[in-house]
Structure 1
Amino acid sequence: MSERWDGGPGGQATRSRTGRVPGQREGEAGGTPRPGGRAAARAAARSQGGSRARRRARPVPRGRRVLKIIGMGLALLVLGTAGAGWWFYQHLNGNINSVSLDGKGGSEKADAFGRTPINILVMGSDGRTSKADCKLGGGCSQTGVQTGNGNADVQMVVHISADRSNATVMSIPRDTMVDIPACKDSASGQSTSGYYGQINGALRYGPACQVATIHQLTGIPIDHFVKLDFSGVVKMSDAVGGVSVCVNNNVYDTYSHLKLSSGSHTLKGKAALEFVRSRHGFGNGSDLGRTVSQHIFLSAMIRKFKSAGTLTNPTAVYGLADAATKALTVDDGLGSVKKLIGLAADVNKVPTKRMTFTTMQTAPDPHDPNRVVVGAGAKALFSSIADDQSLTGGSGKKSAAASATATASAVPASQIAVTVENGTEITGRASDIAKALTGQGFSSATTTANAPSPATTTTLTYGTGQKAEAQTTAKALGLPTSHLDEGTGSGLTLVIGNDWTRGTTFPGGSSSPAPADTKAAVSNAQAQTADEAKTCAKVSPFKTVSLNGVAMTPAQAYAASPDKKDSDE
């Protein structure tokens, strides 16, 4: 039978096998046992008289208590922050509306380093699919809130190069007449077997149909899309704290309701929407003039987004992220906060001086003076984007191609001398390529040398005004466009890299198309770069608006409407 540790009859504790009373400490005076067993021991411990009680009642040092409180507070703060961060992430993901492209836009090809360009179709929808859009866009007094996708009144192909060093934004006017392919909207079930019509109408059959139409027209692989509606523009402009723009004259577009005095303005909310929607206020009063003012607006927004004040302000960043995820419809490939952040990081790598905004060249539609068709130079612009060619020089300054207005004339091979440098460890590579060039009729002044350092990739660097010579050389060697680079010196220097260790035709380059002529690509394309902060939108000098039934210029309408507040007031 086991020994009991509780008290015996009369409160006398039962002795242990050691002969000591449980609870008695060796050396205690008299060795007198405590009465009452465990219960009595606990009571004694709570009393102020016992030595054990005195030890337990000893106060904890103040510093230790403070540290304990701080530690508990920090733990709660970490848990709270982590919980808030997770909630924020889930909240933003929940805002995103994504749609599958079903491979309708083709796919990008990687360069020699495994890097791929990014091509995104940015669409602005005129759909009045919410009360907010009806209020902003009007036209719902009889129809009410509408369903469907509306028309893509803004269409911009945004190209970010494989090496993230440059970008091109090409607007396609909404009035362009093209072939619409067979499409079916997976959401609404609306379908078409294909037809010839206005390009912006393809969006009625879903975003994937608009992407397929642009891909078919341009040959540019488009693997992503972003769609905004009226309220989306308002949210985005508010999130960045307003966008600064400039107009070169007083303007009152009685259709979009934009009213601004000559000079600079910071536009938010509805005023920003009026600016990007205005087609009668700028240029010749058509959609062609509107694309230029939209480029000015987007350039200013990008500069604001990339500014240190925006990116380092947590409130601004949260507002921007929350507005963006609420305002955008995207493809599945961009359908998470992580992917959108990655895209923003890629855009942020490109300097504004190397972001080129262009408008697709057009010509009047012979069957309808109010519509346009693809014009001369457009194919060169399409090719430059598809081939990942930059429309700015390496320094960010406009290249000779970007400042010219005529197509480069061909240069005979006999007039072209190339310095061929061996950047590989294989002896005789430069001599092999040089012989191949002279064998095709290139100048006997072609020379060889060792490159200053080993080269991973083959590059052909050309001097100012020698783009045409470089194109002729690249075509002869099957060298893709992405390997051409405009330098600051003179002459042509071909550095053979480790991506070309044998043969006299660049690997996989025998069927490569000749580099696109970037002079033709930007001719009549209204090219400008995003760093041009002083560029003002040009108010239309024509009678493109009407006030009280009288046709007048936007400046005249402004003067005739002193009682109407300006849009930025």
Structure 2
Amino acid sequence: MSEGEEGQVPRQRSGNGGRAGGRRASKQGRGRRGLKIVAWSVAGLVVLTVGTGGYLYMRYNGNIKSAPLYAGESGDAGHEVPDEFGRTPINVLVIGSDGRDTQEDCDIGGSECGAGANADVQLLLHVSADRSNATVMSIPRDLVTDLPGCIDSKNNTKSKAHRERINSTLAYGPGCTVAAVHQLTDIPIDHFVKVDFVGVIKMSDAVGGVPVCVSDNVYDPYSHLKLTQGKHTLKGMAALQFVRTRHGFGDGGDLGRAAAQHAFLGSMIRELKNAGTLTDPGKVLSLADAATKALTVDPELDGITKLVGLANDLNKVPPNRVTFTTMQTDPDPKDDARLVVNPDAKKLFASIKNDQPLSADPNGASSAPPSSAPPAEATTAPPANSTSRKNIAVTVRNGSGAQRRATELAQALQAAGFSKDTAAGTNLTAEQSTVRYPAGKEAEAKQVAAALGMPESAVQAGSGSSIELVIGTDWKSGTSYPGGGQGGSTAPVDPSAALKGAEASTADNEDSCVKVSHLNTAYLPGLGGMTPIKAFDKSPNIPLSAP
């Protein structure tokens, strides 16, 4: 059952530039929805916490649950393209579930066990191929988009392709959410991490609390978060209240809540790196135990040693190179409680797919490695089935009818790091541009297609002895394939254009406070709608969440 079907609490329109509004909800809706998990903001740190002293955590392997990475009816979760040094980015989809799979989660969630699960918010964590920067992009749970058909092998159920809120996909397993996010963004998804209610509480306790700041007094009657203006250190239930609060921040919708979650996550990153947590064996063991019990992951991450490898990569990224943002959205013209994709989101998706940094290097240096060789500390082994670009030769054949297209594209591929043996071949006639490959060369052909912004559907088995790029009449000019997928082409995107209309911050930002809403986003029985600031004043008998 999706959240919209079970009773909405009063809320503001969630879209960029949305207006105040809301509907009164039933008590059942407030109880179930009031404690929705957004623990994905903490789950992104799990791989960091298990990276120190990995040998200690083998006993926790049994805590980790796994599920298939991809549950779409067709296709797959996409494939990363290695850079010229054979390194690949990492994309991890972190899913916060409101499911009640244990009695403890049921008690916290205020609802009966087995009441279903939604992926209320999804967070896409991207770590660059050179491990110098990362992007954390939130995908609002109220986003309405085209969803793929999915097959849930665990429960033997399936869904047909349809249009609905993206959070509903978790009903068919986390692999269905992966399929939906990949279809939406065209970004390859390498792993997923799903976390439950209890994980947020236990992990915030294990790190000794997470410092946050709020701009005003705030009381959200639905999440029960109540804080005075200023700084607080949140543990346990207070941490859970903060990361799932939506009626206290911004316009009372998903976007304000995402901003608060980004602040929480950035603060936890700083705590893990600066407060000695990762050098304190007792804290690390406690955190590892809490984290692994809260996780469901894909099979490639279903062991501590596998998480440690990913943790080591993530731990290389300094806080000032971790960019938090939320994909650009607009209010749904058919329902102001829902969102639709803003066209600018395609540029953000493309920048992530292209492995472009969205935060500036404070030293003025590029995030890209030197052309001679990658830095030793950033070097990672290439995937077993990958081939360095310099060893991939391509025969380019012009079927477009335009002059010198084969030579132009061959030169572009050489400039992108492909073999110097890449050259123009004989002309032919073709409507569609394709990359054709001989037996055993599909992975290399996909690298060629990705480098030019061509969709994976353009990669086809051929009968020749080498990889061939065929330029059709659909591509008469330019070196980047026009319209290369929903996520956009692989042509470089300026960071300011990628973040247009989206709030962005970095994990090293210690001074800012989360902005409390000044709109009538809160509701008190008998008093009606009001600001969360006024709700604080009107509720003197409600205890504070934290001193």
Tell me which residue corresponds to 1:295.
262
Cα gap change, 1:161/1:563 in structure 2, threshold over 3 Å: closer, same or farther? Answer: same
Tell me which residue corresponds to 2:218.
251
Cα gap change, 1:226/1:396 in structure 2, threshold over 3 Å: closer, same or farther? Answer: farther
**Letter matched to residue 68 of structure 2:** S
**Letter matched to residue 119 of structure 2:** A
Secondary structure at 1:349's aligned position in 2?
coil
Larger of the two Rg values belongs to structure: 1
8 Å contact 2:410–2:423 — kept in the other structure?
A: no
Matching of residue 282 in structure 1 with residue 249 in structure 2:
yes
- Residue-by-residue CA offset, 1:391-420 (whole Å, 9 max, x unaligned): 122337899xxxxxxxxxxxxxxxxxxxxx
**Letter matched to residue 163 of structure 2:** Y
Q: Distance in 1 between matches of 2:126 and 2:278?
A: 23
Deviation at residue 504 of structure 1 after TM alignment: 9.5
Tell me which residue corresponds to 2:530.
552
Matching of residue 129 in structure 1 with residue 101 in structure 2:
yes
8 Å contact 1:95–1:326 — kept in the other structure?
A: yes
Deviation at residue 478 of structure 1 after TM alignment: 3.4
8 Å contact 2:480–2:491 — kept in the other structure?
A: no
Deviation at residue 291 of structure 1 after TM alignment: 0.5
**Letter matched to residue 543 of structure 1:** N
- Residue-by-residue CA offset, 1:92-133 (whole Å, 9 max, x unaligned): 101111112147422212111111100000111111222222
Tell me which residue corresponds to 1:109.
81
Matches within 5 A, 1:117-266: 117-138=89-110, 140=111, 144-146=112-114, 148=116, 150-266=117-233
8 Å contact 1:353–1:396 — kept in the other structure?
A: no
Deviation at residue 565 of structure 1 after TM alignment: 1.0
- Residue-by-residue CA offset, 1:469-506 (whole Å, 9 max, x unaligned): xxxxx9996379xxxxxxxxxxxxxxx89866577999
TM-score (norm 1): 0.65
Matching of residue 529 in structure 1 with residue 534 in structure 2:
no
Cα gap change, 1:533/1:476 in structure 2, threshold over 3 Å: closer, same or farther? Answer: farther
8 Å contact 1:176–1:374 — kept in the other structure?
A: yes
**Alignment gaps of 5+ in structure 1:** 1-84, 400-421, 425-455, 458-473, 481-495
Matching of residue 478 in structure 1 with residue 478 in structure 2:
no
Give the number of aligned pairs.
Answer: 397
Which structure carries more relative contact order (alpha carbon 8 Å, separation 6+)? 2
Tell me which residue corresponds to 2:459.
none
**Letter matched to residue 561 of structure 1:** S
Cα gap change, 1:299/1:396 in structure 2, threshold over 3 Å: closer, same or farther? Answer: farther
**Letter matched to residue 97 of structure 1:** K
Q: In structure 1, which of residues 529, 534, 543 is the aligned counterpart of residue 520 of structure 2?
A: 543
Cα gap change, 1:239/1:477 in structure 2, threshold over 3 Å: closer, same or farther? Answer: farther
Cα gap change, 1:154/1:356 in structure 2, threshold over 3 Å: closer, same or farther? Answer: same
Deviation at residue 333 of structure 1 after TM alignment: 0.9
Deviation at residue 91 of structure 1 after TM alignment: 2.2
Matching of residue 376 in structure 1 with residue 353 in structure 2:
no
**Letter matched to residue 510 of structure 2:** A
Matches within 5 A, 1:366-445: 366-395=333-362
Secondary structure at 1:178's aligned position in 2?
strand
Matching of residue 568 in structure 1 with residue 546 in structure 2:
yes
Deviation at residue 313 of structure 1 after TM alignment: 0.5
Cα gap change, 1:499/1:107 in structure 2, threshold over 3 Å: closer, same or farther? Answer: closer
Deviation at residue 560 of structure 1 after TM alignment: 1.1
Secondary structure at 2:296's aligned position in 1?
strand
Deviation at residue 562 of structure 1 after TM alignment: 1.3
Q: Distance in 2 between matches of 1:194 and 1:497?
A: 37
8 Å contact 2:219–2:535 — kept in the other structure?
A: yes
Cα gap change, 1:497/1:259 in structure 2, threshold over 3 Å: closer, same or farther? Answer: closer
Secondary structure at 1:478's aligned position in 2?
helix
Cα gap change, 1:89/1:355 in structure 2, threshold over 3 Å: closer, same or farther? Answer: closer
- Residue-by-residue CA offset, 1:348-368 (whole Å, 9 max, x unaligned): 100110100010000111211
Q: Distance in 2 between matches of 1:554 and 1:201?
A: 29
Q: Distance in 2 between matches of 1:187 and 1:568?
A: 41
**Alignment gaps of 5+ in structure 2:** 1-52, 374-389, 392-407, 425-446, 453-478, 482-489
Cα gap change, 1:226/1:232 in structure 2, threshold over 3 Å: closer, same or farther? Answer: same
Q: Distance in 2 between matches of 1:271 and 1:86?
A: 30
Q: Distance in 2 between matches of 1:224 and 1:238?
A: 26
